[in-house]
Structure 1
């Protein structure tokens, strides 16, 4: 048996498909690059990265953290993943460019071809009908069916454009997150919302006999797994080779983000019936027993070798906070080192270019790294962080030639998801100690049990770890709209050109849920 939720890390807005014996699942990655991650599994429970659909999206100044601009909480949202007649399709909108993107490939690992779809289709679901007509189902509160032209370039002239579902009850969040299917001749749309009656995320469905017909349905799943009234909802459904059905949904888990939950379902007289509760333990037969999955988070010794045309691609465990500035980083200038230098002045961690991140993973996780700051300039900060609006960090800094370790954090005035901490303000400094030299070993620890959401930091003094600063509570907010990330960073506040060398990055997930 395996613990459910199946991954204690930020993988929201899930869509899942099966191609023969293999499951693929896409998730929102917003402002992170490379973006639009697709995971692969043979049992719906254990997953590894299959690919990121793009390295860069549109390379705008905001996506590159230039001129004080940023796209935190924006970027790509809620992709639809489909496989049709030998072709993979990924469709999503980006909330900074206000465009709809379509990527296609004959292989899940690419090369992915990019095009735009005329219009903007919130939380869209791509659907190929049996008669080869193609549709997007999309919207918030009002859910629309829009027929596309055969080349998917935009709405089909004279094609179907109709409202199929409208959320008319009092709500905090109207219907959205559409996932559309045709099963046994019936048409189904699954939706998430937060009604005022439920006060939490719930799952709904509507069905019709035809695309011209009347869609009927309502609530189909309402459960929080006994976890802080955090409802489990929004995602795709998929069947196993044996014919069993599952919904891949998500649940809010505080600062760690929105994490995947599997819920069994079946059909009675064509009506989807979800389990009354999401199971705490789950087991599904694997189509490839004994398969060894690559980890979703991992240590890295940065021992990379340049490929064709001198290109370097970091392991899929890593993402940058925005589009990277490739001229400012290297893993080959000095073997075994992630070297990164600054190219602009930044007011705080939020605007640090080339912050290299991995998802934080619960219930607790820890990362350590060796940092050589010999080539830092005065006013530079380089170190290890938990990146979120309410971030915490340990950094080596230099002032008039003297090196110090500092612990800084950005606190919120409230614990709600609202409020924007993306500004030019520096974080609060809670500790500063002098160090004898520029080579230090740093540790970051995150505790996410029962939404404790605390990060703390330490440094190696000889053979002993010494804590620095406070235990800082991180709060999930809509400014980043993403779970916290462990990150390696450098930024300059006075003069550009400072360099940090990171090596021997070690990542461990501690006290994981028991899987048997």
Structure 2
């Protein structure tokens, strides 16, 4: 049922349903025609969020782990409708060679949580990689170009960093050491450093531990009304909750308060995120849900109410601690023309920003210029091709998008397969580290077969004589996926079984286009278009 609640001049519509493992209470999501919104505002894998307001625009970043380009940048005008603006990291090998197509052995690592800030007339992004330390880049425009990635500190066992520029221009850096510290025999120590004025190195002599608790991460620093605020999350009996410290000096002493409650099975632990004040004085928090389902860690928007100088996130309870809010009045007039991009006809000189490769791609084996209006994927051998259950995780040049969790999803790709060679397999896929399915064309000698592959098993295959094929995947709100194929682009026939989309290694399901050859570096496919329609 729906109840109207009024608290501190903000009216929110809460949707109350029985306990569920899903990150949304209904199939509705995002902006509604009546000026309200439903959480999540993005029902897809936008994890480890941070967000800021710059003038009339809002920007957010989301971790991408081993996908390339890395650290996606989002843009909004209303905090509800978002589009993909670009990426910060063009070359993942500047982080580690393990993220290259030659290695592909760091799934779930790579680019973890970070922060986006705007000061000194630039956007600044800092992030951590669990095995490789901290990195940064800056740009005058959030869409890029971003400066080449710079390593701030080569260290392992650290995460969840944020930069901060004080009123006097002094730069600070905060992060968590999640490994056991031999000095105090504790894990999850939160450290504060001063930075050099160019923001590219830490002053190690200023290292100070300002907090330690179970699982204390998700660090952000703010200065609001003359006070310093340190946002973080920690693990309590109820789940991972949001916390806040405040102090008159950045070095402390700090007061501390819990600012939200969670029901882990229902709320899915909103925590990583960014605190923002609008021009009208309202405060909001853009966050991910830390416990993921098949769509990954989705993004929600929560109201912020100031109580006794503390920013309480969500609906304020009798104990002055916030609770999850699943819908409400939109903070600003909605801009529905802004949306997450999906379609591509490959007519541009560069790939559109919705695309991310699985690991750093091999650039000499794909092209947008070899055939105008097509993406050409040239096949080469995957790493460990003998493993049929995991072959796609280590097959180069697999290009992907996030799978959205809506009531109806339909993705269609048109392939010209006339350039295929013996041993080649190319087509459409859904994959995570726990499950993988593929529908595509496999060439054996001179024969081409339409093959459905799942859980390491392949269908017998249907002989294909045509040079052009259409492949389609559909899935619903529950993540039930079904494949189809067509030889004329009009009549689509089902093939294979209904499968359940899954997540793994803190990543949601990906839909992608794959192409590899287990026998040799031979063959190619030309992709005419990729169309992905999702329900609103």
- Report the TM-score, using the length of structure 2 for normalisation: 0.83
Aligned positions of 1:60-459 closer than 5 A = 60-66=96-102, 68-96=103-131, 98-114=132-148, 115-120=150-155, 121-139=158-176, 140=178, 141-156=188-203, 158-159=205-206, 161-167=207-213, 174-195=215-236, 197-198=237-238, 200-224=239-263, 228=266, 230-251=268-289, 252-276=291-315, 277-286=323-332, 293-304=337-348, 312-346=349-383, 347=385, 348-363=391-406, 364-389=408-433, 390-410=435-455, 427-430=456-459, 432-447=461-476, 449=477, 452-459=478-485
Q: Give 1:10's aligned residue.
A: 45
Distance 1:92 1:61 in 2: 18
Contact 2:267–2:324 at 8 Å: present in 1 too? Answer: no
**Could you say if the C-alpha distance between residues 101 and 469 of structure 1 is closer, same or farther in structure 2, counting changes exceeding 3 Å?**
same
CA deviations over 1:67-92 (Å, ceiling 9, x no partner): x4433211111121111121211111
1:434 shift after superposition: 2.6
Distance 1:21 1:111 in 2: 21
Contact 2:37–2:330 at 8 Å: present in 1 too? Answer: no
**Could you say if the C-alpha distance between residues 292 and 473 of structure 1 is closer, same or farther in structure 2, counting changes exceeding 3 Å?**
closer
1:355 shift after superposition: 1.2
Question: RMSD of the TM alignment (CA)?
Answer: 2.2
CA deviations over 1:226-264 (Å, ceiling 9, x no partner): 964522222111111111111111114411111111111
**How many residues are paired up?**
470
**Could you say if the C-alpha distance between residues 109 and 299 of structure 1 is closer, same or farther in structure 2, counting changes exceeding 3 Å?**
closer
- Report the TM-score, using the length of structure 1 for normalisation: 0.86
CA deviations over 1:387-409 (Å, ceiling 9, x no partner): 31212111110123221111112
Contact 2:270–2:287 at 8 Å: present in 1 too? Answer: yes
Distance 1:243 1:36 in 2: 29
1:303 shift after superposition: 1.8
Instruction: Report whether the alignment pairs 1:477 with 2:504.
Output: yes
Contact 2:73–2:143 at 8 Å: present in 1 too? Answer: no
CA deviations over 1:202-223 (Å, ceiling 9, x no partner): 2122222222322232421123
1:368 shift after superposition: 0.8
SS at match of 1:156: strand
CA deviations over 1:370-397 (Å, ceiling 9, x no partner): 2222222222110001131212111110
* Larger deviation, residues 227-236 vs 382-391: 227-236
1:295 shift after superposition: 3.5
Distance 1:431 1:361 in 2: 31
Contact 1:28–1:76 at 8 Å: present in 2 too? Answer: yes
Distance 2:123 2:500 in 1: 41
Contact 1:303–1:337 at 8 Å: present in 2 too? Answer: yes
CA deviations over 1:454-506 (Å, ceiling 9, x no partner): 3221112554322111112232221xx32122111101111211111221321
SS at match of 1:138: strand
Contact 1:31–1:322 at 8 Å: present in 2 too? Answer: yes
Structure 2 gaps, min length 5: 1-35, 179-187, 316-322, 386-390
**Could you say if the C-alpha distance between residues 55 and 158 of structure 1 is closer, same or farther in structure 2, counting changes exceeding 3 Å?**
closer
Distance 1:484 1:386 in 2: 7
Contact 1:201–1:230 at 8 Å: present in 2 too? Answer: no
Contact 1:194–1:202 at 8 Å: present in 2 too? Answer: yes
**Could you say if the C-alpha distance between residues 32 and 272 of structure 1 is closer, same or farther in structure 2, counting changes exceeding 3 Å?**
same
SS at match of 1:58: helix
Distance 2:133 2:267 in 1: 34
Distance 1:292 1:246 in 2: 19
